[in-house]
Every structure is written in C-alpha cells, then in structure tokens.
Amino acid sequence: MGRPAFVSSRRWILLGGLAALAGGAGVYAATADEFVPDRERVRSDVEPLQRRFLAIGRLSGPHWLGYNPNDSGRELLPDQDPQTRVVGFAHLPPAP
C-alpha cells in the first residue's frame, strides 16, 4: 500500500492565497475606473445651465464641462482671475 494522499498545510496556504489573489484581481478588474478629478468630470445636471441661460428656454439632456484653461491643477492657491469656460451640448426646445 502507498502513502495516504493528503494536502500539507503549506499547500492549503498556497491554494488559499491563490484563490484570494484571483478574487481580488477579479474585483479590481470589475471596478477599476481611472480616477477623474471633479474639475474634469463631465456633468449632466440642468440647473446650473438653466440659471445662466434663461433666455434660451428649457434645456434637456445636457453634457457639459466647466474648466479654467490656465489651471494646471498644481497651484497651491486658486487663480485670482479665473477664466472659466463651459463646453458641451444640450437639447433646446423647438422654435415657436
């Protein structure tokens, strides 16, 4: 007769570590998004645009981004004269 087949404690630790590593990699792959600072995030809220562009009428489906072209993001103090630009698009109501 031969030796009984058994798994040593080192092999159990190795198998457990590999399973944890594979599970962690799967969770990371499923949730990994590149970090985007708030100043570079595309917004889709209507209220700020609606307040500033009242004469246009009701806007719908906006996708926009407000940014300062002179801001590199590395300054300790904010710009004293920000030149904010708003770029994006929105659906306008049909003309009467």
Among candidate residues 41, 37, 42, the one with its CA nearest the CA of residue 64: 42
- pLDDT, greater one: 68 or 89: 89
Residue 18 has pLDDT above 60, yes or no: yes
Q: According to DSSP H, which parts of 1-96 are helical?
A: 9-31, 47-52
What's the chain's average pLDDT? Answer: 77
Residue 33 has pLDDT above 80, yes or no: no
Residue 82 has pLDDT above 70, yes or no: yes
Query: Model confidence over 41-71: pLDDT tens digits?
Result: 888 999 988 888 888 888 889 999 888 877 7
| pLDDT value, residue 27 | 66
Compute the C-alpha angle 36/74/28, nearest 5°: 30
Cβ(46)–Cβ(59) under 8 Å?
yes
Cβ(52)–Cβ(83) under 8 Å?
no
